[in-house]
Amino acid sequence: MSAWHRPASLTEAIGLLAEGGVVAAGCTDLFPATRRQALSGPVIDLTRVAEMRGISETRGGWRFGAAVRWSEVLSAALPPAFDGLKAAAREVGSVQIQNAGTLGGNLCNASPAADGVPGLLTLEAEVELAGPAGMRRLPLAAFLAGARRTALAPGEVLVAIHVPSHAAAGRGAFLKLGARRYLVISIAMVAARLVVKGGRIDRAAVAVGACGPVASRLPALEAALAGIAPEDAAAAVSEALVAPALAPIGDVRGDAEYRGVVAVELVRRALRGLAAEGMR
Amino acid sequence: MPDVTPLPAATPIRMGSNAGQPRTRADGLLKVTGRATYAADNHPAGMAQAVLVTAAIARGRVTAMNVEAARAHPGVVEVYTPANRPELALEPDAKPSFFSKLTETLQDDTVRYEGQPIALVVAETLEAATEAARLLAPQYAAETARVGFDLAPYAPESVGFGFPIEMSKGDIAAGLSEAASTTETVVETPPQYHNAMETHAIVAEWKDGKLYLDTPTQAPGMSAAGFAAWLGLDPADVVIRSPFLGGGFGSKAAVVGAFLLAIQAAKLLDRPVKLALARHQMFGHVFHRGATRQTIKLGMDAEGRLTAIDHHTTAVTAAFEEFIEGASGAARTTYAAPAIRASHDGVRNDVGVPGAMRAPGEASGSAALEIAADVAAEAAGLDPLEFRLRNYAETDPMSGLPYSSKALRECYAEGAREFGWAGRPLAPRQMTDDAGMLVGWGVGTATFPCPMFGAEARATLRADGTAVIETALIDMGQGSWTAMAQIAADSLGLDVEQVEIRGGVSDLPDSGVAGGSGYTATLGLAIDNAGGDTIRQLAEIASSDPDSPLHGTGNTRVVARGGRLYAQDDESRSESYADILARAGRETLSGEGKGARGENDANDHSFQSHGAVFAEVKVDPDLGQVRVTRLVGAFAAGRIINPRMVESQLSGGMIWGISFALHEGAEMDPRTGRILNRDFGEYHVSVNSDAPSVKVLTIPEEDAFVNPLGVKGVGEIGVTGTAGAIANAIWHATGKRVTSYPIRLEELLDL
Task: Give the model confidence (pLDDT) of B268-318 as tens digits.
Answer: 999 999 999 999 999 999 999 999 999 999 999 999 999 999 999 999 999
Q: Which residues of B touch A185 (CB under 8 A)?
A: 681-682
pLDDT (0 to 100) of residue A37:
65
**What distance in Å separates residue A257's CA from the closest CA in chain B?**
7
Judge if B48-143+195-282 and B356-451+603-748 fold alike in CATH terms.
yes
Q: Closest Cα partner for B735 from B407, B314, B432?
A: B432
Q: What secondary structure letter does DSSP report for B640?
A: -
- How much is the average pLDDT of B649-665? 97
Determine the distance from the C-alpha atom of residue B23 to the mean position of all C-alpha atoms in its chain, rounded to a whole number: 23
| Interval A129-155: pLDDT, tens | 999 999 999 999 999 999 999 999 999
**Helices within B76-163 (DSSP H only):** 126-135
Query: H or E segment at A253?
Result: none
Please, which pLDDT band fits residue B12 given cuts at 50, 70 and 90?
Answer: very low
| Interval A60-77: pLDDT, tens | 999 999 999 999 999 999
Q: Closest-CA residue in chain B for A268?
A: B622
Name the 3-class secondary structure at B548. coil
| ipTM confidence | 0.92
Q: Closest Cα partner for A220 from A202, A248, A240?
A: A240
Q: Closest Cα partner for B504 from B488, B486, B480, B521?
A: B480
| Closest Cβ opposite residue B689 in set A35, A182, A253 | A182
Would the CB atoms of B134 and A37 count as touching at under 8 Å?
Answer: yes
| Interval B27-47: pLDDT, tens | 999 999 999 999 999 999 999
Q: How far apart are CA B527 and CA B640, in angstroms?
A: 16
| Closest Cβ opposite residue B751 in set A36, A184, A261 | A261
Residues from A contacting B (CB-CB < 8 Å) are: 1, 35-38, 177, 179-185, 187, 252-255, 257-258, 261-262, 265-266
Does B104 participate in catalysis according to the annotation? no
Beta bridge partners of A233: none
- How much is the average pLDDT of A169-195? 95
Q: Which residues of A touch B689 (CB under 8 A)?
A: 181-182
Q: Closest Cα partner for B726 from B625, B629, B611?
A: B629
Yes or no: say if B319 and B112 are a contact pair by the CB < 8 Å rule.
yes
Q: Closest-CA residue in chain A for B135?
A: A36
- Burial readout B543-570 (b: 16 or more C-beta within 10 A, e: otherwise): bebeebbbeebebeebebeebbbbbeee
**What distance in Å separates residue A187's CA from the closest CA in chain B?**
10
A-B contacts (CB, under 8 Å): 66
Q: How far apart are CA B413 and CA B419, in angstroms?
A: 10
Backbone angles phi, psi at B531, to 5 degrees: -65, -45
Cβ neighbours for B630, distance < 8 A, ≥ 6 positions apart: B419, B614, B615, B616, B692, B693, B695
**What distance in Å separates residue B618's CA from the closest CA in chain A?**
13
**What distance in Å separates residue A216's CA from the closest CA in chain B?**
21
For the segment(s) A50-166, the CATH number from 3.40.50.300, 3.30.465.10, 1.10.3720.10, 3.30.300.180 is 3.30.465.10
| Interval B408-464: pLDDT, tens | 999 999 999 999 999 999 999 999 999 999 999 999 999 999 999 999 999 999 999
pLDDT (0 to 100) of residue B4:
40
Between residues A183 and B372, the one the model is more confident about: B372
Query: H or E segment at B646?
Result: helix B643-662
| Closest Cβ opposite residue B687 in set A38, A182, A253 | A182
- How much is the average pLDDT of A176-200? 94
Q: Please check whether the domain covering B356-451+603-748 is classified as CATH 3.30.360.10.
A: no
Judge if A50-166 and A170-278 fold alike in CATH terms.
no
**What distance in Å separates residue B255's CA from the closest CA in chain A?**
28
For the segment(s) A170-278, the CATH number from 3.30.390.50, 3.30.1490.20, 3.10.20.30, 3.30.360.10 is 3.30.390.50
Q: Which residues of B touch A261 (CB under 8 A)?
A: 749, 751
Domain ranges of chain B: 11-36+453-596, 48-143+195-282, 356-451+603-748
Yes or no: say if B619 and B559 are a contact pair by the CB < 8 Å rule.
no
Residues from B contacting A (CB-CB < 8 Å) are: 127-128, 130-131, 134, 622-625, 627, 662-663, 667, 676-677, 681-682, 684, 686-690, 744-746, 749, 751
| Interval B126-141: pLDDT, tens | 999 999 999 999 999 9
Yes or no: say if B564 and B553 are a contact pair by the CB < 8 Å rule.
no
Please, which pLDDT band fits residue B557 given cuts at 50, 70 and 90?
Answer: confident
Annotated catalytic residue within B104, B322, B500, B716 = B716
Packed helices B362-380 and B722-734: angle between N→C axes, nearest 10 degrees = 30
Q: How far apart are CA B21 and CA B641, in angstroms?
A: 7
pLDDT (0 to 100) of residue A272:
97
**E-assigned strand segments in B136-209:** 139-142, 166-169, 181-189, 201-207
Whole-model pTM: value is 0.95
| Interval B518-535: pLDDT, tens | 999 999 999 999 999 999
Cβ neighbours for A123, distance < 8 A, ≥ 6 positions apart: A81, A82, A84, A85, A163, A167, A168, A172, A193, A205
Beta bridge partners of A173: A192
Q: How far apart are CA B670 and CA B675, in angstroms?
A: 9
| Interval A88-142: pLDDT, tens | 999 999 999 999 999 999 999 999 999 999 999 999 999 999 999 999 999 999 9
Preceding omega of B742 cis (within 30 degrees of 0)? yes
| Interval B95-137: pLDDT, tens | 888 788 899 999 999 999 999 999 999 999 999 999 999 999 9
| Closest Cβ opposite residue B746 in set A35, A36, A254 | A254
Q: Return the residue in A258, A259, A264, A265 with the most chain B beta carbons within 10 A, the one to mutate for interface testing.
A: A258
Q: Return the residue in A95, A180, A189, A239 with the most chain B beta carbons within 10 A, the one to mutate for interface testing.
A: A180
| Closest Cβ opposite residue B676 in set A179, A252, A265 | A252
Percentage of residues in chain B having pLDDT higher than 90: 93
pLDDT (0 to 100) of residue B515:
95
Yes or no: say if B120 and B105 are a contact pair by the CB < 8 Å rule.
no
Backbone angles phi, psi at B431, to 5 degrees: -120, 140
Cβ neighbours for B434, distance < 8 A, ≥ 6 positions apart: none
Would the CB atoms of B749 and A261 count as touching at under 8 Å?
Answer: yes
Percentage of residues in chain A having pLDDT higher than 70: 98
Q: What secondary structure letter does DSSP report for B350?
A: S
Would the CB atoms of B667 and A252 count as touching at under 8 Å?
Answer: yes
Q: Closest-CA residue in chain A for B136?
A: A36
Q: Closest-CA residue in chain B for A184?
A: B681
Q: How far apart are CA B402 and CA B392, in angstroms?
A: 13
Domain ranges of chain A: 50-166, 170-278
Q: How far apart are CA B418 and CA B416, in angstroms?
A: 6
Please, which pLDDT band fits residue B8 given cuts at 50, 70 and 90?
Answer: very low
pLDDT (0 to 100) of residue B751:
67
**What distance in Å separates residue A180's CA from the closest CA in chain B?**
7
Half-sphere exposure of B359 (CA within 13 A, CB side): 34
pLDDT (0 to 100) of residue B13:
38
Q: Please check whether the domain covering B48-143+195-282 is classified as CATH 3.30.365.10.
A: yes
Mean pLDDT of chain B: 95
Farthest-apart Cα atoms in chain B, separation:
89
Among the listed ranges A16-30, B354-368, B584-598, which one has the minimum average pLDDT value? Answer: A16-30
Q: Please check whether the domain covering B11-36+453-596 is classified as CATH 3.30.365.10.
A: yes
Q: Closest-CA residue in chain A for B665?
A: A252
Report the length, in residues, of chain A: 280
